[in-house]
Amino acid sequence: MKEHLLALKEEALEVLEKVATPKELADLRVKYSGKKGALTEILRGMGKLSAEERPVVGQVANEVREAIEEVVNRKQDEFTKAETNERLQAEKIDVTLPGRALPQGGLHPLNKVIEQIEDIFTGMGYRVAEGPQAETDYYNFEALNLPKNHPARDMQDSFYLTEDLLMRTHTSPVQIRAMEAMKGETPIKVICPGTVFRRDDDDATHSFQFHQIEGLVIGKDIRMSDLKGTLLQFAREMFGESTEIRLRPSFFPFTEPSAEVDVTFVKKNGERVWIEILGCGMVHPKVLEMGGFDPEVYSGFAFGMGVERIAILKYGIDDIRHFYNSDLSFLKQFARQ
Protein backbone atom coordinates (compact mmCIF):
# COMPACT_ATOMS: atom_id res chain seq x y z
CA MET A 1 0.00 0.00 0.00
CA LYS A 2 2.89 2.30 0.72
CA GLU A 3 4.17 1.77 -2.82
CA HIS A 4 0.74 2.53 -4.25
CA LEU A 5 0.61 5.80 -2.28
CA LEU A 6 4.04 6.91 -3.48
CA ALA A 7 3.15 5.98 -7.08
CA LEU A 8 -0.08 7.99 -6.77
CA LYS A 9 1.86 10.95 -5.44
CA GLU A 10 4.31 10.86 -8.34
CA GLU A 11 1.51 10.57 -10.91
CA ALA A 12 -0.60 13.33 -9.32
CA LEU A 13 2.24 15.82 -9.02
CA GLU A 14 3.29 15.26 -12.61
CA VAL A 15 -0.24 15.71 -13.96
CA LEU A 16 -1.04 18.73 -11.74
CA GLU A 17 2.07 20.60 -12.91
CA LYS A 18 0.76 20.44 -16.49
CA VAL A 19 -2.72 21.81 -15.66
CA ALA A 20 -3.72 24.65 -18.00
CA THR A 21 -7.12 25.81 -16.71
CA PRO A 22 -8.83 26.35 -13.33
CA LYS A 23 -11.56 23.86 -14.28
CA GLU A 24 -9.02 21.18 -15.10
CA LEU A 25 -7.31 21.80 -11.76
CA ALA A 26 -10.59 21.46 -9.87
CA ASP A 27 -11.39 18.17 -11.64
CA LEU A 28 -7.96 16.70 -10.82
CA ARG A 29 -8.25 17.75 -7.19
CA VAL A 30 -11.46 15.75 -6.91
CA LYS A 31 -9.86 12.85 -8.82
CA TYR A 32 -6.89 12.49 -6.49
CA SER A 33 -7.94 13.81 -3.06
CA GLY A 34 -11.72 14.00 -3.17
CA LYS A 35 -14.07 11.86 -1.06
CA LYS A 36 -14.26 9.31 -3.87
CA GLY A 37 -10.77 10.01 -5.22
CA ALA A 38 -7.77 7.70 -5.75
CA LEU A 39 -6.21 8.46 -2.37
CA THR A 40 -9.40 7.57 -0.54
CA GLU A 41 -9.73 4.31 -2.49
CA ILE A 42 -6.21 3.25 -1.43
CA LEU A 43 -6.82 4.12 2.20
CA ARG A 44 -9.91 1.92 2.33
CA GLY A 45 -7.50 -1.02 2.49
CA MET A 46 -6.02 0.18 5.81
CA GLY A 47 -8.19 -2.31 7.66
CA LYS A 48 -6.22 -5.21 6.22
CA LEU A 49 -2.92 -3.90 7.58
CA SER A 50 -1.30 -5.00 10.80
CA ALA A 51 -1.19 -2.76 13.84
CA GLU A 52 2.47 -2.00 13.16
CA GLU A 53 1.90 -1.03 9.48
CA ARG A 54 -1.07 1.27 9.98
CA PRO A 55 0.84 4.23 11.53
CA VAL A 56 3.49 4.06 8.86
CA VAL A 57 1.00 3.95 6.00
CA GLY A 58 -1.11 6.66 7.67
CA GLN A 59 1.88 8.97 7.83
CA VAL A 60 2.71 8.36 4.14
CA ALA A 61 -0.93 8.98 3.19
CA ASN A 62 -0.89 12.36 4.98
CA GLU A 63 2.33 13.31 3.23
CA VAL A 64 0.82 12.42 -0.15
CA ARG A 65 -2.37 14.42 0.60
CA GLU A 66 -0.32 17.45 1.74
CA ALA A 67 1.91 17.28 -1.36
CA ILE A 68 -1.11 17.14 -3.68
CA GLU A 69 -2.90 20.02 -1.83
CA GLU A 70 0.27 22.11 -1.91
CA VAL A 71 0.53 21.85 -5.70
CA VAL A 72 -3.22 22.45 -6.12
CA ASN A 73 -3.11 25.59 -3.95
CA ARG A 74 -0.03 26.91 -5.73
CA LYS A 75 -1.59 26.39 -9.15
CA GLN A 76 -4.82 27.99 -7.94
CA ASP A 77 -2.89 31.09 -6.82
CA GLU A 78 -1.19 31.25 -10.22
CA PHE A 79 -4.54 31.15 -12.01
CA THR A 80 -6.00 33.81 -9.71
CA LYS A 81 -3.07 36.17 -10.24
CA ALA A 82 -3.17 35.62 -14.00
CA GLU A 83 -6.91 36.37 -14.06
CA THR A 84 -6.40 39.52 -11.97
CA ASN A 85 -3.62 40.78 -14.23
CA GLU A 86 -5.75 40.09 -17.30
CA ARG A 87 -8.65 42.10 -15.81
CA LEU A 88 -6.34 44.95 -14.83
CA GLN A 89 -5.01 45.14 -18.37
CA ALA A 90 -8.50 45.06 -19.84
CA GLU A 91 -9.94 47.63 -17.42
CA LYS A 92 -6.96 49.91 -16.92
CA ILE A 93 -7.47 53.66 -17.11
CA ASP A 94 -4.96 56.05 -18.56
CA VAL A 95 -4.66 58.51 -15.68
CA THR A 96 -2.66 60.89 -17.84
CA LEU A 97 -5.73 61.75 -19.93
CA PRO A 98 -7.52 65.00 -19.03
CA GLY A 99 -10.65 64.57 -16.95
CA ARG A 100 -14.14 65.06 -18.33
CA ALA A 101 -15.46 68.37 -17.05
CA LEU A 102 -18.94 68.28 -15.54
CA PRO A 103 -21.42 70.70 -17.10
CA GLN A 104 -21.84 73.88 -15.07
CA GLY A 105 -24.88 76.05 -14.80
CA GLY A 106 -24.99 79.82 -14.75
CA LEU A 107 -26.98 82.64 -13.28
CA HIS A 108 -30.33 83.41 -14.84
CA PRO A 109 -30.11 86.68 -16.82
CA LEU A 110 -32.58 88.36 -14.44
CA ASN A 111 -30.47 87.34 -11.44
CA LYS A 112 -27.36 88.65 -13.20
CA VAL A 113 -29.04 92.03 -13.71
CA ILE A 114 -30.35 92.12 -10.12
CA GLU A 115 -26.87 91.40 -8.77
CA GLN A 116 -25.33 94.07 -11.00
CA ILE A 117 -27.88 96.67 -9.89
CA GLU A 118 -27.30 95.74 -6.25
CA ASP A 119 -23.53 96.05 -6.75
CA ILE A 120 -23.93 99.51 -8.27
CA PHE A 121 -26.09 100.86 -5.44
CA THR A 122 -24.27 99.17 -2.57
CA GLY A 123 -21.17 100.80 -4.04
CA MET A 124 -22.96 104.13 -3.44
CA GLY A 125 -23.63 103.24 0.19
CA TYR A 126 -27.09 101.71 -0.10
CA ARG A 127 -28.14 98.58 1.74
CA VAL A 128 -30.49 95.89 0.43
CA ALA A 129 -33.88 95.58 2.17
CA GLU A 130 -36.50 92.89 1.60
CA GLY A 131 -40.12 92.35 2.58
CA PRO A 132 -42.99 89.86 2.22
CA GLN A 133 -44.56 89.11 -1.16
CA ALA A 134 -48.01 88.72 0.42
CA GLU A 135 -48.61 92.23 1.71
CA THR A 136 -51.35 94.08 3.60
CA ASP A 137 -53.45 96.70 1.89
CA TYR A 138 -52.05 99.25 4.33
CA TYR A 139 -48.40 98.81 3.34
CA ASN A 140 -49.11 98.21 -0.35
CA PHE A 141 -51.44 101.20 -0.81
CA GLU A 142 -52.57 103.32 2.15
CA ALA A 143 -49.15 104.11 3.62
CA LEU A 144 -48.05 105.17 0.11
CA ASN A 145 -50.75 107.86 -0.20
CA LEU A 146 -53.14 105.52 -2.00
CA PRO A 147 -56.26 105.39 0.22
CA LYS A 148 -59.12 103.05 -0.56
CA ASN A 149 -61.04 103.95 -3.74
CA HIS A 150 -58.13 106.13 -4.97
CA PRO A 151 -58.26 106.10 -8.80
CA ALA A 152 -54.51 105.41 -9.04
CA ARG A 153 -55.17 101.91 -7.72
CA ASP A 154 -56.67 101.07 -11.10
CA MET A 155 -53.15 101.18 -12.58
CA GLN A 156 -52.15 98.29 -10.31
CA ASP A 157 -54.88 95.67 -10.77
CA SER A 158 -54.16 93.24 -7.96
CA PHE A 159 -54.37 89.63 -6.79
CA TYR A 160 -56.23 89.77 -3.45
CA LEU A 161 -55.92 86.82 -1.08
CA THR A 162 -58.35 88.22 1.50
CA GLU A 163 -60.10 91.55 1.87
CA ASP A 164 -56.96 93.04 3.40
CA LEU A 165 -54.17 90.81 2.04
CA LEU A 166 -52.84 90.79 -1.52
CA MET A 167 -49.80 89.83 -3.57
CA ARG A 168 -47.76 93.03 -3.58
CA THR A 169 -48.00 95.07 -6.77
CA HIS A 170 -44.64 96.81 -6.25
CA THR A 171 -41.75 96.71 -3.78
CA SER A 172 -42.65 100.13 -2.35
CA PRO A 173 -44.09 98.54 0.82
CA VAL A 174 -40.52 97.61 1.74
CA GLN A 175 -39.68 101.33 1.76
CA ILE A 176 -42.38 101.99 4.36
CA ARG A 177 -41.19 99.07 6.46
CA ALA A 178 -37.61 100.37 6.25
CA MET A 179 -38.75 103.82 7.36
CA GLU A 180 -40.68 102.39 10.32
CA ALA A 181 -37.69 100.28 11.34
CA MET A 182 -35.52 103.41 11.58
CA LYS A 183 -38.03 105.06 13.98
CA GLY A 184 -37.34 108.56 12.71
CA GLU A 185 -33.55 108.17 12.53
CA THR A 186 -31.65 109.11 9.37
CA PRO A 187 -30.01 108.71 6.97
CA ILE A 188 -31.93 106.00 5.09
CA LYS A 189 -30.43 104.61 1.88
CA VAL A 190 -31.99 101.35 0.76
CA ILE A 191 -32.81 99.47 -2.40
CA CYS A 192 -35.66 96.97 -2.39
CA PRO A 193 -35.44 94.13 -4.95
CA GLY A 194 -38.16 91.53 -5.30
CA THR A 195 -40.94 89.84 -7.22
CA VAL A 196 -44.24 91.67 -7.76
CA PHE A 197 -47.62 90.61 -9.15
CA ARG A 198 -50.25 92.36 -11.27
CA ARG A 199 -53.18 91.12 -13.31
CA ASP A 200 -51.57 91.78 -16.69
CA ASP A 201 -52.10 89.69 -19.80
CA ASP A 202 -48.83 88.08 -20.83
CA ASP A 203 -47.37 89.46 -24.06
CA ALA A 204 -43.97 90.53 -25.38
CA THR A 205 -43.68 93.37 -22.85
CA HIS A 206 -45.95 92.36 -19.93
CA SER A 207 -46.22 89.55 -17.40
CA PHE A 208 -48.47 88.90 -14.40
CA GLN A 209 -45.28 88.31 -12.38
CA PHE A 210 -42.13 90.36 -12.78
CA HIS A 211 -39.30 91.91 -10.76
CA GLN A 212 -38.71 95.40 -9.44
CA ILE A 213 -35.93 97.21 -7.67
CA GLU A 214 -36.89 100.37 -5.84
CA GLY A 215 -34.69 102.82 -4.01
CA LEU A 216 -35.26 105.21 -1.12
CA VAL A 217 -33.12 107.96 0.36
CA ILE A 218 -34.24 110.08 3.35
CA GLY A 219 -32.28 112.70 5.21
CA LYS A 220 -31.97 116.44 5.62
CA ASP A 221 -31.65 118.71 2.58
CA ILE A 222 -32.16 115.90 0.04
CA ARG A 223 -32.87 117.54 -3.33
CA MET A 224 -34.04 116.62 -6.83
CA SER A 225 -30.50 117.21 -8.08
CA ASP A 226 -29.30 114.43 -5.75
CA LEU A 227 -31.82 112.10 -7.35
CA LYS A 228 -30.76 113.02 -10.88
CA GLY A 229 -27.06 112.61 -10.08
CA THR A 230 -27.72 109.18 -8.54
CA LEU A 231 -29.70 107.96 -11.55
CA LEU A 232 -27.13 109.29 -14.01
CA GLN A 233 -24.39 107.39 -12.17
CA PHE A 234 -26.51 104.24 -12.22
CA ALA A 235 -27.32 104.55 -15.94
CA ARG A 236 -23.68 105.01 -16.90
CA GLU A 237 -22.50 102.05 -14.84
CA MET A 238 -25.27 99.87 -16.25
CA PHE A 239 -25.28 100.92 -19.91
CA GLY A 240 -21.96 102.67 -20.51
CA GLU A 241 -20.15 105.94 -19.82
CA SER A 242 -21.68 107.72 -22.84
CA THR A 243 -25.25 107.19 -21.55
CA GLU A 244 -27.34 110.29 -20.88
CA ILE A 245 -30.62 110.58 -19.00
CA ARG A 246 -33.58 112.95 -19.08
CA LEU A 247 -36.42 113.44 -16.61
CA ARG A 248 -39.96 114.03 -17.88
CA PRO A 249 -42.72 115.26 -15.53
CA SER A 250 -45.13 112.52 -14.50
CA PHE A 251 -47.49 111.51 -11.68
CA PHE A 252 -47.09 109.01 -8.85
CA PRO A 253 -49.20 109.22 -5.67
CA PHE A 254 -46.20 108.56 -3.42
CA THR A 255 -43.82 111.20 -4.86
CA GLU A 256 -44.13 114.93 -5.57
CA PRO A 257 -42.75 116.14 -7.90
CA SER A 258 -42.52 112.96 -9.99
CA ALA A 259 -40.73 112.08 -13.21
CA GLU A 260 -40.23 109.34 -15.78
CA VAL A 261 -36.57 108.69 -16.59
CA ASP A 262 -35.34 108.02 -20.13
CA VAL A 263 -31.87 106.88 -21.18
CA THR A 264 -30.11 107.21 -24.50
CA PHE A 265 -30.05 103.93 -26.38
CA VAL A 266 -28.40 103.00 -29.66
CA LYS A 267 -30.47 100.75 -31.92
CA LYS A 268 -28.96 98.06 -34.13
CA ASN A 269 -29.14 100.42 -37.10
CA GLY A 270 -27.05 102.98 -35.17
CA GLU A 271 -29.94 105.33 -34.43
CA ARG A 272 -29.71 106.97 -30.99
CA VAL A 273 -33.09 107.18 -29.23
CA TRP A 274 -34.56 107.88 -25.79
CA ILE A 275 -36.10 104.91 -23.94
CA GLU A 276 -37.95 105.03 -20.62
CA ILE A 277 -36.46 102.82 -17.90
CA LEU A 278 -37.91 103.91 -14.54
CA GLY A 279 -40.03 106.30 -12.50
CA CYS A 280 -38.88 108.52 -9.65
CA GLY A 281 -39.56 111.60 -7.58
CA MET A 282 -39.26 113.34 -4.24
CA VAL A 283 -40.98 111.43 -1.43
CA HIS A 284 -44.47 112.81 -0.84
CA PRO A 285 -44.89 114.58 2.56
CA LYS A 286 -47.76 112.24 3.49
CA VAL A 287 -45.58 109.21 2.84
CA LEU A 288 -42.87 110.71 5.05
CA GLU A 289 -45.45 111.17 7.81
CA MET A 290 -46.76 107.59 7.44
CA GLY A 291 -43.18 106.37 7.75
CA GLY A 292 -42.58 108.35 10.94
CA PHE A 293 -40.66 111.37 9.60
CA ASP A 294 -41.47 115.08 9.89
CA PRO A 295 -41.71 116.46 6.31
CA GLU A 296 -40.80 119.91 7.65
CA VAL A 297 -37.41 118.56 8.72
CA TYR A 298 -36.68 115.67 6.38
CA SER A 299 -36.91 115.11 2.66
CA GLY A 300 -36.06 112.24 0.38
CA PHE A 301 -36.28 110.71 -3.06
CA ALA A 302 -37.46 107.37 -4.37
CA PHE A 303 -37.20 105.51 -7.65
CA GLY A 304 -38.37 102.21 -9.06
CA MET A 305 -37.38 100.17 -12.08
CA GLY A 306 -38.45 96.91 -13.71
CA VAL A 307 -35.59 94.41 -13.81
CA GLU A 308 -36.95 92.80 -16.98
CA ARG A 309 -36.91 96.14 -18.81
CA ILE A 310 -33.29 96.76 -17.81
CA ALA A 311 -32.32 93.24 -18.93
CA ILE A 312 -34.16 93.63 -22.26
CA LEU A 313 -32.20 96.80 -23.02
CA LYS A 314 -28.89 95.48 -21.74
CA TYR A 315 -29.00 92.18 -23.68
CA GLY A 316 -31.10 93.20 -26.70
CA ILE A 317 -33.95 90.79 -25.94
CA ASP A 318 -37.19 91.25 -27.88
CA ASP A 319 -39.71 89.35 -25.74
CA ILE A 320 -40.10 89.31 -21.93
CA ARG A 321 -41.48 85.75 -22.07
CA HIS A 322 -38.02 84.40 -22.93
CA PHE A 323 -37.07 84.97 -19.28
CA TYR A 324 -39.74 82.57 -17.99
CA ASN A 325 -40.07 79.65 -20.42
CA SER A 326 -36.89 77.77 -19.29
CA ASP A 327 -35.52 77.48 -22.83
CA LEU A 328 -31.95 76.23 -22.31
CA SER A 329 -30.82 77.43 -25.74
CA PHE A 330 -31.76 80.95 -24.58
CA LEU A 331 -30.39 80.69 -21.04
CA LYS A 332 -27.04 79.15 -22.05
CA GLN A 333 -26.13 82.38 -23.85
CA PHE A 334 -25.90 84.13 -20.46
CA ALA A 335 -24.00 81.35 -18.67
CA ARG A 336 -20.99 82.28 -20.81
CA GLN A 337 -21.18 86.01 -20.10
Q: Residue 144 pLDDT more than 70? A: yes
pTM for this prediction? 0.69
Could you read off the pLDDT of 48-57 as tens digits, one per residue?
666 666 666 6
Q: Residue 237 pLDDT more than 80? A: yes
Q: Residue 129 pLDDT more than 80? A: yes
Give 142 or 9, the one with higher predicted confidence.
142
* Phi, psi for 137 (deg, rounded to 5): -60, -35
* Phi, psi for 131 (deg, rounded to 5): -150, 180
256 is in an annotated binding site: yes
Q: 16-45 burial, b for 16+ CB within 10 Å, e for fewer?
A: beebeeeeebeebbeebbeeebbbeebbee
Work out the average pLDDT over 205-232.
95
Range scoring the smallest mean pLDDT among 5-9, 101-105, 263-267, 279-283: 5-9
pLDDT category of residue 46 using cuts at 50, 70 and 90: low
Q: Cis ω on the peptide bond leading into residue 147 (within 30° of 0)?
A: no
Q: Residue 155 pLDDT more than 60? A: no
Q: What's the pLDDT score for residue 280?
A: 97
Could you read off the pLDDT of 8-38 as tens digits, one per residue?
677 777 777 888 888 887 877 777 677 666 6
Q: How far apart are CA 31 and CA 8, in angstroms?
A: 11
What single-letter DSSP state applies at residue 281? E
Within a 10 A sphere around the Cβ of 50, how many other Cβ atoms?
6
